[in-house]
Amino acid sequence: MQHISGCVRRCLEDYDMVAPGDTIAVALSGGKDSLTLLCALAELRRYFPIPYTLNAITLDMGIPGMDFSPLSEFCKTLDVPHFIIPTHIYHLLFEERHEKNPCSLCAKLRRGALSRVLGERGIQKIALGHHYDDAVETFLLSLLFEGRLSCFQPVTYLSRSGITQIRPLLYVGEPTIQAAAKRLALPVVRNPCPANGYTKRQEVKELLSNWEERYPGLRARIFGSIQRLPLTGWAPKEKRRRPLP
């Protein structure tokens, strides 16, 4: 966990993600990424030079059989308040609208629900679990399917809600997260979404894996190009060597 915490700290510093006295809510889905992010931010509270308070928020999508109690118990061990927010997103997408390609609308509905909850609690900063590989995949998705050079930003200010999104895991690769989740026995909640594994993102993930076998270091070169272009919001504060995931 020390390596991951170090990468998260570097990312926080490179993009000025934290201000003194911030209350940061981690969007805790129960997946390995958000759980690892929560662990890293909880550990960093002890020695990060800028003080901040940490919460965890889980959106209950209304999927039958979901049990988030292991997440609540885990948050207690980290001394992090955990809030579970009920929604009807699953019912709307799959039982009312019968969406065949639900991901875009689902993301929009989740963003709206999170913004509402954060506004009600007076929290203005949320940490999302997007990591190194997510950034590379998103860049390729935009290039291949939209014909443009684009990616989500490390720090995104949402002017309508006044909320700032931060992505502190951007220097951490998915294999590192997977290994940490297994080693720490994190209470990962399985994703039962009917669309899971059948998306364009999954296609790009598999494509990248094939390319990486032929061209080792491809992900690192793509990630570096995102920072060197730089895409909007991607220029680090300091030009120093990035930690490898």
Question: At 65, is the pLDDT very low, low, confident or very high (cuts 50, 70, 90)?
Answer: confident
Answer for the pair 131, 177: CB distance below 8 angstroms, yes or no: yes
pLDDT score at 96: 77
Q: Is 103 or 58 the better-scoring residue by pLDDT? A: 58
Give the global pTM. Answer: 0.91
Domain total in the chain: 1
* C-alpha angle 117-120-125 in degrees, rounded to nearest 5: 65
Dist CA 51 CA 29 (whole Å): 25
Mean of per-residue pLDDT scores for the chain: 90
Residue at 173 is within a domain = yes
Tokens encoding 240: 């120093």
pLDDT band at 239 (very low <50, low <70, confident <90, very high): low
Backbone angles phi, psi at 218, to 5 degrees: -60, -45
**Between the CA of residue 231 and those of 26, 34, 152, 204, 236, what are the distances in Å?**
25, 25, 9, 20, 11
pLDDT, mean of residues 212-228: 94
Note whether residue 245 is domain-resident: no
Task: For residue range 75-111, list pLDDT tens digits in order.
Answer: 999 999 999 999 888 778 777 777 677 777 888 888 8
Per-residue model confidence (pLDDT) at position 34 = 96
What is the domain-level CATH number for residue 58? 3.40.50.620
Distance CA 140, CA 224 (A): 14
The pLDDT of residue 205 is above 70: yes
pLDDT of 168-196, one tens digit each?
Answer: 999 999 999 999 999 999 999 887 776 66
Most confident by average pLDDT, 57-61, 87-91, 136-140: 136-140
Structural domain including 180 reads 2-228
Residue 235 lies in a domain: no
